[in-house]
Amino acid sequence: MGKKDDYDREFEALQVALVRFQQQAMEAGEKDLVIFEGRDAAGKDGAIKRIVEHLSIRQTRVVALPKPTERERTQWYFQRYVPHLPAAGELVILNRSWYNRGGVERVMGFSTPAEQETFLTDAPTFERMLTDGGVQVVKLWLDISREEQARRLEKRRSDPLKALKVSPLDAVAQDKWDAYSAARDEMLARTHSEHAPWTIVRTDDKKAARLNILRFLLRALAPEAIVRDVAAPDPGVVFPFSKGAPLFR
């Protein structure tokens, strides 16, 4: 009981700090962009829900785009994401992003090898344009073990309250595990940059992941006056990407 109370108390304090951060960011006209990526069932939806729970509806947008239309498929690849980028005082969270091209599109053959190579070359340049334009970019890769993913996908199929989370791609997430691992490794290595680095979050323990994501976001975005009492993220849960990072295989 004591541990649960401690967790709930810290979580509430972190959400209060997020509200204070957004008040400051709105006044300062900050443009904040948080990108959530990761394997299926890694916990993106749940983490985002906790982040935005008490934030301003008008100044916070969660963007989860559907598959591109036929017209969008003929556009410059990044074009359909541009209208959703933050203006002054806004926080935008992308629940999956342009990195679809480096992951699911590659594994499922939804784009050509040439298109994938162009994307991996262009993404760091595009993100440099964003940061040069005053956008603070945070990129999170939520990592999950094969065993935990299998357990969560099975729970989706058997729980009627999770029916809306079921995707046709769920069926191949386990079968194509190694292909997704290879795509992930190349994508992270080639799009990790000083101006828009990747941060890894291990999510097998959902509660620990959510708590540490809030800690990390506050320390990455909020001023010292707000994060003074925020604990550092657990390095066993949240850590910077590197080529030797302990990702699930």
Min mean pLDDT across 101-115, 153-167, 208-222 is at 153-167
Percent helix, strand and coil across the chain, each rounded to 5? 55, 15, 30
Check: CB of residue 214 under 8 Å from CB of residue 11: yes
d(C-alpha 197, C-alpha 92), whole Å:
17
pLDDT exceeds cutoff 50 at 148? yes
Q: Model confidence at 59, in pLDDT bands (50, 70, 90)?
A: very high
d(C-alpha 143, C-alpha 43), whole Å:
9
Global confidence as pTM: 0.95
Please tell me the predicted confidence (pLDDT) of residue 160: 87
Please tell me the predicted confidence (pLDDT) of residue 1: 47
For the chain, the domains span 2-240
Q: Model confidence at 3, in pLDDT bands (50, 70, 90)?
A: low
Q: Which residue has the tokens 């340049």?
A: 125
d(C-alpha 19, C-alpha 52), whole Å:
9
Please tell me the predicted confidence (pLDDT) of residue 169: 78
Please tell me the predicted confidence (pLDDT) of residue 130: 98
Please tell me the predicted confidence (pLDDT) of residue 161: 82
Average confidence (pLDDT) over 49-77 = 97
Average confidence (pLDDT) over 192-198 = 98
pLDDT exceeds cutoff 80 at 4? no
Average pLDDT, the chain: 95
Min mean pLDDT across 26-35, 106-115, 152-161, 200-209 is at 152-161
3-state secondary structure 142-171: EECCHHHHHHHHHHHHHCHHHHHHCCCCHH
Contact residues for 58 (Cβ-Cβ < 8 A; gap 6+): none
Please tell me the predicted confidence (pLDDT) of residue 166: 81
pLDDT exceeds cutoff 60 at 135? yes
Q: Which CATH architecture fits 2-240?
A: 3-Layer(aba) Sandwich (3.40)
